[in-house]
């Protein structure tokens, strides 16, 4: 009888452990996507519009979010190997990415921006940079588009926008390209970066930001989409992005 009780207790403990693991939702975010995803320096916790959105979705579907900070270029691989369950970053739902992951409905749209050194007053068009060295973040659609143009002497690839801004400010490259809301927010918050947005620049294209899940997890995708639809209808989605000036 005592042995039977021990077996039952062990079984219940294992079941409880499994249930707890099932209730968690591992979310991949980056530290360089201000104001979409970044680290709050006062708490050292991930924060931003896409972090708040993922937390709200997790709560809505009855799971506990666990945020995993990763390089942007490693997010999709992390999803494919099961390291994370969900990507919630300023990531565009492109056709190429759709071949390997599934995206939710669109939550935000924006285009790219060009930035140059703060003391460079020229309002460049992209064609004006023919033969120059420019920079973009590795793994982004902007990097792919710039390389496909074939008009630059080099398209240098970087892990973060901060690294691109440093090299633009130091004159190592002529201009940098990246997410307009992220660049605009960082420049507004940190004038000492020594770069500025090029006014009147026409984006190479507009992108649709969405959350991503594994193709092996259609149930989670359905839950995420249902939650987003409810937030759009209630106005909660607009409030989340509005909190960060988006």
d(CA 75, CA 37): 13
- Do 118 and 198 sit in the same domain of this protein? yes
- Do 142 and 179 sit in the same domain of this protein? yes
Averaged pLDDT for residues 132-155: 94
Domain assignment present for residue 37? The answer is yes
pLDDT digits (tens, 9 = 90+) for 200-231: 999 998 889 999 999 999 999 999 999 999 99
Averaged pLDDT for residues 27-52: 91
Whole-number CA gyration radius for the chain: 21
Helix (H, G, I), strand (E, B) or coil at 94: coil
Handedness of CA 42, 211, 208, 243 (dihedral sign): negative
- Identify the CA nearest to 104 among candidates 230, 238, 234, 242: 230
Domain assignment present for residue 15? The answer is no
Domain assignment present for residue 9? The answer is no
d(CA 36, CA 182): 7
d(CA 159, CA 149): 21
Mean predicted lDDT score pLDDT of the chain? 90
- Identify the CA nearest to 51 among candidates 76, 34, 71, 72: 34
- Do 114 and 196 sit in the same domain of this protein? yes
Domain assignment present for residue 32? The answer is yes
- Do 44 and 79 sit in the same domain of this protein? yes
Report whether 139 contacts 90 (CB < 8 A).
no
Q: Residue 193: which CATH number?
A: 3.40.190.10
Domain range spanning residue 185? Answer: 110-206
- Do 118 and 149 sit in the same domain of this protein? yes
Domain assignment present for residue 4? The answer is no
Q: Structural domain tally of the chain?
A: 2
Domain assignment present for residue 18? The answer is no
This prediction has a pTM of: 0.69
Higher per-residue pLDDT: 244 or 124: 124
- Do 130 and 183 sit in the same domain of this protein? yes
- Identify the CA nearest to 142 among candidates 95, 176, 166: 176
How would residue 4 be classed by pLDDT, with cut points 50, 70 and 90? Answer: very low
């Amino acid at each position: 009888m005592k042995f039977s009780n021990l077996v039952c207790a062990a079984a219940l403990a294992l079941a409880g452990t499994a249930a707890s693991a099932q209730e968690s939702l591992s979310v991949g975010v980056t530290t360089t996507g201000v104001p979409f995803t970044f680290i709050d320096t006062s708490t050292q916790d991930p924060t931003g519009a896409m972090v708040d959105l993922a937390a709200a979705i997790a709560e809505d579907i009855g799971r506990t979010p666990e945020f995993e900070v990763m390089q942007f270029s490693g997010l999709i691989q992390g999803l494919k190997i099961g390291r994370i369950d969900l990507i919630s970053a300023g990531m565009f739902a492109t056709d190429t990415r759709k071949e390997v992951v599934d995206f939710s409905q669109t939550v935000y749209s924006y285009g790219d921006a060009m930035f140059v050194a703060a003391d460079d007053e020229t309002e460049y068009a992209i064609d004006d940079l023919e033969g120059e060295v420019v920079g973009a973040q590795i793994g982004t659609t902007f990097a792919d588009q710039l390389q496909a143009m074939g008009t630059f002497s080099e398209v240098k690839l970087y892990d973060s926008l901060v690294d691109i801004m440093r090299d633009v400010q130091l004159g190592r490259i002529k201009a940098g390209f990246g997410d307009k809301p992220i660049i605009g927010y960082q420049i507004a918050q940190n004038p000492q970066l020594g770069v500025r947005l090029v006014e009147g620049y026409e984006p190479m294209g507009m992108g649709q930001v969405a959350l991503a899940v594994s193709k092996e997890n259609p149930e989670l995708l359905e839950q995420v989409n249902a939650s987003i639809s409810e937030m759009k209808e209630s106005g909660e989605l607009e409030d989340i992005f509005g909190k960060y000036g988006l």
